[in-house]
Amino acid sequence: MTDFNRYVWSFYRWGLDLLFPPSCVSCKRVGAWLCEPCAQQIPLFEGTLCPRCGRPWSKPDLCPVCRKTPLQVNPIRSVFIFDSPIREALHALKYRGGGSVVTTLAARMDEAWRRQGMESDLLLPVPLHPSREVKRGYNQATLLALALGKQVDVPVGTRVLKRVRNTPSQTKLNRQERKENMADAFVCASGLSLAGIRVTLIDDVATTGATLNACAGVLLQAGAEAVNAFTLARAP
């Protein structure tokens, strides 16, 4: 995104916030899309889950999906379950210019990262297609990665992965359709070698893992030692 586009977007959001001030998605207090007290009360996603894909699972072994078609990204871990008020906070982040939500949740992301024993040499946000990023004003995954990187002292690469296909929304697609939708959607920067580097993909929500898996494929081809993922939320 160009500096001019950022300026236009910032001015537009400033005008909207002036006319319609943000209010906490949980307690409705005016001033922020998610206030600090409410953020501290949201339970972290803990308990029994699939050791590979990270979805809620009642047994200690792999879930049926991972036993049949294991993802290349391993493991996927998340801070919260995709439920209220995180669902509404992410909606504000993605569609209402609520970038401040990331700042409010940074400490909780750090807490979840350490509790889950995540390790990484490099954080990589899942990229948006440039046209979609211009429309949104920012990439929410980049905001999340930068906030987490500061907390856990891991560098962030914002130009390593590129999205080369402007894929349709995955919201109404099934597992197989999501996989096909993501085929050849990402590439690594030309001439890049990730030999010996443990990479963590950062995104807002993990659902089937199709997007994360597509990214992991090109990163492993570029020589990454391993690719895991850390998302703000996990769809049940």
Q: pLDDT (tens digit, 0 to 9) for every residue of the chain, 236 residues total? A: 455 655 555 555 555 554 678 999 999 999 999 999 999 999 999 989 999 999 999 998 999 999 999 999 999 999 999 999 999 999 999 988 899 999 999 999 999 999 999 999 999 999 999 988 988 889 999 999 999 999 999 999 999 999 998 887 787 788 888 888 788 889 999 888 999 999 999 999 999 999 999 999 999 999 999 999 999 999 98
User: Is residue 105 assigned to a domain?
Assistant: yes
Tokens 């070698």 sit at which residue?
193
3-state secondary structure 143-157: HHHHHHHHHHCCCEC
User: Is residue 35 assigned to a domain?
Assistant: no
Domains contained in the chain, number: 1
User: Is residue 154 assigned to a domain?
Assistant: yes
Give the CATH number for residue 217.
3.40.50
* Inter-residue contact 24 to 89 (CB < 8 Å): no
User: Is residue 174 assigned to a domain?
Assistant: yes
| Dihedral sign from CA coordinates of 217, 83, 155, 96 | positive
Give which of 159, 142, 70 is closest to 99, Cα–Cα: 142
* Confidence at residue 37, expressed as pLDDT on a 0 to 100 scale: 96
User: Is residue 131 assigned to a domain?
Assistant: yes
User: Is residue 23 assigned to a domain?
Assistant: no
Tokens 């995180």 sit at which residue?
86
* Confidence at residue 102, expressed as pLDDT on a 0 to 100 scale: 97
Domain that holds residue 104: 44-234
User: Is residue 38 assigned to a domain?
Assistant: no
205 in helix, strand or coil?
strand
What end-to-end distance do the CA atoms of the chain give, in Å?
33
* Confidence at residue 8, expressed as pLDDT on a 0 to 100 scale: 55
Instruction: Name residue 50's amino acid.
Output: C
* Confidence at residue 173, expressed as pLDDT on a 0 to 100 scale: 81
* Confidence at residue 13, expressed as pLDDT on a 0 to 100 scale: 57
* Confidence at residue 17, expressed as pLDDT on a 0 to 100 scale: 58
User: Is residue 93 assigned to a domain?
Assistant: yes
Predicted TM-score (pTM) of the model is 0.90
